[in-house]
């Protein structure tokens, strides 16, 4: 999409998670996409008009990128996948000849148009914490955010105001790498003055490592996740604890078995022996 003009937008239903803006098509057609970015779990497409197309995949949303005339779905699939036109809700026809199709069976995804100057103050964005891979996220910042928090450390990591966009899988994996129990209280990684303890430094390291490894592996293929080329991500083959209930802990020298508990309605996988 980047650098190309949106020639035509097909909207095949009036709503995703929320109704699409009434002037959605008018504000997009004819506009050049000047940049593609991301904030937390939101995808952003900057338009020459100064608007930003804000998109979220929700639970099951995915984009397919294809080229006019080629047809079909690019890439290979481990599971049969039809073009499922019933779930192709929005199609962008680009001046480059590419078609970018948003498919979302469960329709928890969203698309909004927000003026760029209003984006940082938008209700969906303004409370969002620092990007985990950005320089602004370090042990000082994490400890300060956790100081005084009586929730569990796992819940704090999933709190988007503490750190942006860290999902359930990566929170579990990072806690295992840092050898920290998901059940410990969040404030225990900070000193009484809110400074980071050594474990906060280890946790930030673990978060950055687990995310960088996952990006290298192409993400994790659970449920309907696909990369835009249609390939499955392979990070699930690197899970240390996630979805490994009852299996031996991979920490060298640890004889623990991975346990699954439910915290705040989400599955947590951890080793009760080496995660303190
Ligand atoms: Zn262990």
pLDDT (tens digit, 9 = 90+) per residue, 180-219? 999 999 999 999 999 999 999 999 999 999 999 887 776 5
Query: In this prediction, what percent of the chain has a pLDDT beyond 70?
Result: 87
Average pLDDT on 104-119 reads 94
Cβ-in-10-Å burial (0-12, 13-18, 19+) of 72 comes to: exposed
Confidence bin at 237 (pLDDT 50/70/90): low
Confidence bin at 72 (pLDDT 50/70/90): very low
Residue 228 clears pLDDT 80, i.e. is over it: no
Query: In this prediction, what percent of the chain has a pLDDT beyond 90?
Result: 72
Q: Worst-scoring range by mean pLDDT, 71-80, 119-128, 156-165?
A: 71-80
Distance CA 140, CA 185 (A): 17
Residue 183: φ, ψ to 5°: -90, -10
Residue 225 clears pLDDT 70, i.e. is over it: no
Ligand 1 centroid to 248 CA: how many Å? Answer: 8
* Ligand 1 ion local residues (Cβ < 5 A): 249, 251, 254, 256, 271, 273-274
**DSSP code for 195:** P
Ligand 1 centroid to 249 CA: how many Å? Answer: 5
| Three-state DSSP class for residue 228 | coil
Question: Which among 98, 102, 95 is positioned nearest to 67, based on CA atoms?
Answer: 98
């Amino acid at each position: 999409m980047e650098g190309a003009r949106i020639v035509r937008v097909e909207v095949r239903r009036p709503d995703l998670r929320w109704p699409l803006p009434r002037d959605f098509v008018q504000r997009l057609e004819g506009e050049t996409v000047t940049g593609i970015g991301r904030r937390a779990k939101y995808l952003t497409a900057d338009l020459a008009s100064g608007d930003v197309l804000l998109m979220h995949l929700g639970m099951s949303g995915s984009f397919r990128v294809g080229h006019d005339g080629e047809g079909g779905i690019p890439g290979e699939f481990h599971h049969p996948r039809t073009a499922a036109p019933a779930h192709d809700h929005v199609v962008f026809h680009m001046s480059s000849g590419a078609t970018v199709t948003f498919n979302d069976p469960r329709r928890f995804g969203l698309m909004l148009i927000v003026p760029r100057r209003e984006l940082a103050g938008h209700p969906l964005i303004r409370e969002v914490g620092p990007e985990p891979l950005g320089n602004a996220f370090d042990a000082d910042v994490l400890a300060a955010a956790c100081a005084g928090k009586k929730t569990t450390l796992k819940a704090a990591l999933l709190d988007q105001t503490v750190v942006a966009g860290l999902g359930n899988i990566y929170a579990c994996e990072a806690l295992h790498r840092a050898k920290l129990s998901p059940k410990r209280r969040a404030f225990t990684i900070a000193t009484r003055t809110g400074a980071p303890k050594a474990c906060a430094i280890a946790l930030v390291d673990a978060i950055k490592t687990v995310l960088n490894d996952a990006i290298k592996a192409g993400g994790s293929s659970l449920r309907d996740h696909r990369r835009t080329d249609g390939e499955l991500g392979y990070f699930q083959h690197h899970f240390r604890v996630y979805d490994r209930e009852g299996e031996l802990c991979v920490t060298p020298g640890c004889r623990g078995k991975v346990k699954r508990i439910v915290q705040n309605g989400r599955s947590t996988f951890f080793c009760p022996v080496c995660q303190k």
